[in-house]
Structure 1
Amino acid sequence: MGEYSASELWSIVVMQGFSGLSLFSVLLLMALGLAIIFGQMGVINMAHGEFMAIGAYTTVMLSKVAVEYGFGNLYFLPAIAVSFAMAFLTGYLVEIGLIRYLYKRPLDTLLATWGLSLIMQQTFRSTFGAKEVSAELPPWMMGSFKPTETVDIPINGVFVMGLTAFVCLGVFLFLFRARWGLQARATTQNRVMAGAVGINTKKVDRVTFALGCGIAGLAGAAFTTIASTGPTTGSLYIVDSFMVVVFGGAASLMGTVVSAFGIAQAQSILQFFITSSMGKVATLLVIVTILMIRPEGLFAAKVRR
């Protein structure tokens, strides 16, 4: 780093830090869905990345239709809603057809959803082809603004962060301020007692699982603003997403936010000065060291024993 001046180093850290915020946004959206499915329900969903790909492919297809019919400036916000709906509906059907038979069997959910992820990847490959595809971003998301002469902030990155903040607020209100969130948490803590007081636990399971998948679809829509999409795109993020959830604390939304921010920033800044693989190795070593000290994660859930 001695070849850079102090001002150049500052500009590099700022720009890489903002690049890390874009990665943070996608990771956080992915991890929020996992925090609901894994943290709240105990289901290890190895196909979570493929639900992200559903959202990404939905956005890509809608962008092509929008460009063809001349409303490319207006399609993106509706595409976000459609991406969520497609992933939500698919997750709802997967819960009915597969997941509901595997509750309280985490290793079985891991194997079953891993097989599901392979099936979904091949479906994407057969339907959309093996090559990566990109969405046509609307003109208002293109370009950047310069707070200083040496720093460029992309507009699409700012939009993705705003979308992430909105989704985080919605998830918080859903889980901790809405009646349905109370029912979901009651079902998680004591399924028998929740059913005894009149909660339809099967319906709660389906909607909660589908919600986690729908948030992954939102992550896919956001992902199209920063990279192209392929059949295996989602699987590239599943390990990092689980790492975020475990490191932050499996049942803690605050832990998920803090963990996603720290991991994304560390990877983004380190990868500029060293290789990409070594940056991930250094980040992983720090996480493993901290988990050895705090096995429950950064923010442990407070429950009665």
Structure 2
Amino acid sequence: MFGDYSLGDLGSIFAMQGFAGLILFSVYVLMALGLAIIFGQMGVINMAHGEFMILGAYVTYFCSEFFSAYLPSLFPGYFFVAMALAFLASGSLGMLVEWALIKRLYKRPLDTLLATWGLSLILQQTYRSVFGPREVGVVLPDWLLGSLPVTDTIEVPINGVFVMCLTALITIAVGLLMYKARWGRQVRAVVQNRVMAGAVGIDTERVDRMTFGLGCGIAGVAGSAFTMIGSTGPTSGQLYIVDTFLIVVFGGAASLFGTIASAFSISQTQSTLEFFLSGSMAKVITLLTVVAILMLRPQGLFTLKVRR
């Protein structure tokens, strides 16, 4: 596999593929952050998480079309508006789903799996009926196109740098929200002891709804980032849901740092292997490696120490 390349060529290939995997890493992190909040903090297995991501992608697509047709002078900045609307749309739908469905299934993880899997099929058919079965692509502003030369043989895609910076900001904001803000302390209190949290005056139902909405909203932002690496269709979200669950479990369900480290290692491994092998073989090798590691360390790479 490596015999036809010199050491210099291999170094350039690894660097280029690493930079090429920046957007994939960012999508994985944003998807996994939302899922880690829902699964790690609430114990809900949300099989419809990919559909919340695709809702954000559709919002980004329609923002692109709207600004291109009616506000061409503001088109260079439409992506920021699209991300905000994607967060609001996916987050609002998530809060509605929590109120109508999920709140009746807490402490029943297998039931949440079946219910959200059914929800994913309903959302896919809804997208197909509303937006059509054809995949659509987003036109990016000119300032997100092109690349930045690092050396004579290595270039960094500008949209990858942008999404990386966006992911870093969102990750820091989520970390501060969960571990420094009053609302984050309420979330952790509800997770540890729901009855006692309610007894001291915390509105546990509101905390649940806001937590689920936040996780789904972050998935919507991931959908905006997703438009840079693939076309948007009714079933596109299902291509990422397995990888996202794998990242959350591999990194440790309750560990924010573990989620980031896991997303980075898996995305970079897949991006590099896809250069030398087919995409399916790269996924198979990555999956087998992760499964082998989980057999030795089933709790994931990083776990939180809790006093009992």
Short-chain TM bin: over 0.9
Aligned to 1:133: 136
Letter of the structure 2 residue corresponding to residue 161 of structure 1: M
Aligned to 2:101: 98
The normalised TM-score by structure 1 is 0.98
Distance (Å, rounded) in 1 between the aligned partners of 2:82 and 2:161: 18
Aligned to 1:63: 64
Distance (Å, rounded) in 1 between the aligned partners of 2:78 and 2:25: 24
What does the per-residue CA deviation read over 1:199-257, in whole Å, with 9 as the maximum and x for residues that have no partner?
00000000000000000001001111222111111111000000000000011111101
Aligned to 1:159: 162
Report deviation, 1:8: 1.9
Of the structure 1 ranges 37-46 and 291-300, higher mean CA displacement relative to structure 2 is found in 291-300
The normalised TM-score by structure 2 is 0.97
Aligned partner (choices 184, 201, 206) of residue 203 of structure 1: 206
Distance (Å, rounded) in 2 between the aligned partners of 1:20 and 1:271: 10
Distance (Å, rounded) in 1 between the aligned partners of 2:109 and 2:205: 18
**SS in structure 1 at match of 2:232:** coil
Report deviation, 1:21: 2.0
What does the per-residue CA deviation read over 1:89-144, in whole Å, with 9 as the maximum and x for residues that have no partner?
00010000000000000000000000000000011111111111111111111111
Distance (Å, rounded) in 2 between the aligned partners of 1:191 and 1:240: 31
Aligned to 1:38: 39
Residues 81-96 of structure 1: matches in 2 within 5 Å? 81-96=84-99
1:278 and 2:281 correspond = yes
Gaps of 5+ in 1: none
Aligned to 1:174: 177
Aligned partner (choices 272, 275, 295) of residue 292 of structure 1: 295
1:145 and 2:148 correspond = yes
**SS in structure 2 at match of 1:153:** strand
Report deviation, 1:304: 2.3
Distance (Å, rounded) in 1 between the aligned partners of 2:269 and 2:279: 11
Distance (Å, rounded) in 1 between the aligned partners of 2:115 and 2:240: 19
**SS in structure 2 at match of 1:145:** strand
**SS in structure 1 at match of 2:58:** helix
Letter of the structure 2 residue corresponding to residue 115 of structure 1: G
Distance (Å, rounded) in 2 between the aligned partners of 1:157 and 1:59: 17
Report deviation, 1:192: 0.3
Report deviation, 1:7: 2.1
Distance (Å, rounded) in 2 between the aligned partners of 1:248 and 1:147: 31
Of the structure 1 ranges 130-139 and 209-218, higher mean CA displacement relative to structure 2 is found in 130-139
What does the per-residue CA deviation read over 1:41-70, in whole Å, with 9 as the maximum and x for residues that have no partner?
000000000000010000000000001121
Distance (Å, rounded) in 2 between the aligned partners of 1:52 and 1:295: 28
Aligned partner (choices 78, 81, 86) of residue 78 of structure 1: 81
Aligned partner (choices 258, 261, 265) of residue 264 of structure 2: 261
Distance (Å, rounded) in 2 between the aligned partners of 1:288 and 1:103: 28
Distance (Å, rounded) in 1 between the aligned partners of 2:241 and 2:102: 18
Letter of the structure 2 residue corresponding to residue 208 of structure 1: T
Equivalenced residues, count: 305
Distance (Å, rounded) in 2 between the aligned partners of 1:4 and 1:247: 32
Of the structure 1 ranges 43-52 and 277-286, higher mean CA displacement relative to structure 2 is found in 277-286
Letter of the structure 2 residue corresponding to residue 221 of structure 1: S
Aligned to 1:120: 123
Letter of the structure 2 residue corresponding to residue 38 of structure 1: F
Gaps of 5+ in 2: none
Aligned to 1:24: 25
Sequence identity percentage: 64
Distance (Å, rounded) in 2 between the aligned partners of 1:21 and 1:153: 9
Distance (Å, rounded) in 2 between the aligned partners of 1:80 and 1:32: 16
Distance (Å, rounded) in 1 between the aligned partners of 2:6 and 2:306: 51
Aligned partner (choices 206, 214, 217) of residue 214 of structure 1: 217
Distance (Å, rounded) in 2 between the aligned partners of 1:161 and 1:74: 18
**SS in structure 2 at match of 1:49:** helix
Q: Is 2:41–2:254's contact at 8 Å kept on the other side of the alignment? A: yes
1:184 and 2:187 correspond = yes
Q: Is 2:23–2:225's contact at 8 Å kept on the other side of the alignment? A: no
Distance (Å, rounded) in 1 between the aligned partners of 2:79 and 2:34: 21
RMSD: 0.9
Distance (Å, rounded) in 2 between the aligned partners of 1:75 and 1:44: 33
Distance (Å, rounded) in 2 between the aligned partners of 1:121 and 1:223: 17
